[in-house]
Amino acid sequence: MNHTPKYSLIVPIYNEEENLPELYRRISGVMERLDGPVELILINDGSRDRSLEILRELHEQDSRICYLSFARNFGHQIAVTAGLNFSTGQVAVIMDGDLQDPPELILDMIEQWRSGYQVVYAQRTHRRQESWFKRFPAYIYYRILRNLADVDIPLDTGDFCLMDRCVVDVLNALPERNRYIRGLRAWIGFKQTAVKFERDPRFAGDVKYTFSKSFALAMNGLVSFSTVPLQLSIYLGLFSALVSVLMAFLVLYWRLFSPGAALTGLTIIIMAIFFLGAVQLVSIGILGQYIGRIYEEVKGRPLYTLAEVAGFGDRPKPSK
């Protein structure tokens, strides 16, 4: 591109060949209504379908489209990070590529930015056509995270947001490797506000955030912004000590007043072993989550590797 964009729209793409034509149609309609130059940064996160081919075609027909293609799948949060690294606009907007985040809401976000807010996040009021099995755990998780986290992470928000250049620069400068964008966005601070919306169902294709991926992201957010799980080990240890004292009194009572009780002898020993084993394993597992993140940080590997880059002109590649 021969000019510096005012707006950078960042969209991670993973196996979205069915959504890309409609995504481009709706985003291009929004871009036409913006009051300055815009770049649309699409990040191919190791897709196995025709997503990369479609990105090439879109880039050929629209010079505003830039794309990055990872050498393999690195995950949604890293794809968003790469888009932020390459963005140059005064404003950066992050949204998903499945059209659950309505592109038209970008115009409302920009209005809030013009009124002085440096971070404008989209806050879900309703999830259309999502099952109770998916909505209820998400509802509970966001409230647990907000109560346990060291920062105030807004309820029912994802990565769909607008950020001013000053916020993007700070976010890009953060060195940590286990990225939880919505948490980092809250941690950075600045003047923030919400834009309410009802989340649409996926336009086409299969859900990319499976239960296991959603659970991993939830754990990442909890461990990255709270040390309460570490304190849980202490509480479990104190609780097990209390239980062991009570069990000792019960065994003494049964031995003295009810020698034939079924819970004396081998049964009570097995129960104690299982209980203490469970406490130890939970504590080790919690500790392992934090140690694993230390291990990832000290290795110092790049966050991602790029196989293909197009549409960014001669601008230097950012360090990762």
Read off the pLDDT of residues 243-265 as tens digits, 9 standing for 90 and up.
777 777 776 766 666 666 555 56
Q: What is the pLDDT of residue 317?
A: 64
Residue 13 pairs in a beta bridge with 44
Contact 139, 127 (CB under 8 A): no
What's the pLDDT at 120? 92
Instruction: Tell me how crowded residue 202 is: count the other CB atoms within 10 A of its CB.
Output: 18
* Mean pLDDT to the nearest integer, 83-105: 89
CA angle 305, 92, 117 (to 5 degrees): 145
Please identify which residue in the block is written with the tokens 């009810």: 258
pLDDT > 90: percent of the chain: 20
Q: How confident is the model at residue 315 (pLDDT cuts 50, 70, 90)?
A: low
Other Cβ atoms within 10 Å of 134 Cβ, number: 14
203 vs 23, which has greater pLDDT? Answer: 23
113-163 residue pLDDT tens: 999 899 998 888 766 656 665 666 766 766 776 767 677 778 777 788 999
Average pLDDT value for residue range 71-95: 91
Q: What percent of the chain has pLDDT above 70?
A: 74
| Residue 212 confidence (pLDDT) | 64
Question: Average per-residue pLDDT in the chain?
Answer: 79
Range with lowest mean pLDDT among 88-92, 106-110, 227-231, 265-269 = 265-269
User: Cα–Cα distance between 259 and 237 in angstroms, integer?
Assistant: 30
The residue with tokens 């169902």 is 201
pLDDT in tens, 36-75: 898 999 999 988 988 999 999 999 888 889 999 999 988 8
C-alpha 161/C-alpha 163 separation (Å) is 7
Whole-number Å distance between alpha carbons of 283 and 270: 20
Residue 1: pLDDT band (50, 70, 90) is: very low
Q: Is the pLDDT confidence value at 314 over 70?
A: no
Q: Which residues, in sequence order, are CB contacts of 179 under 8 Å at separation 6+?
A: 77, 78, 80, 81, 303
Sequence-separated contacts (24+) of 235-240 with Cβ below 8 Å: 236/279, 236/282, 236/283, 237/279, 237/283, 239/279, 240/275, 240/276, 240/279
Q: Is 260 helix (H, G, I), strand (E, B) or coil?
A: coil
Which whole number is the average pLDDT over 200-215? 58
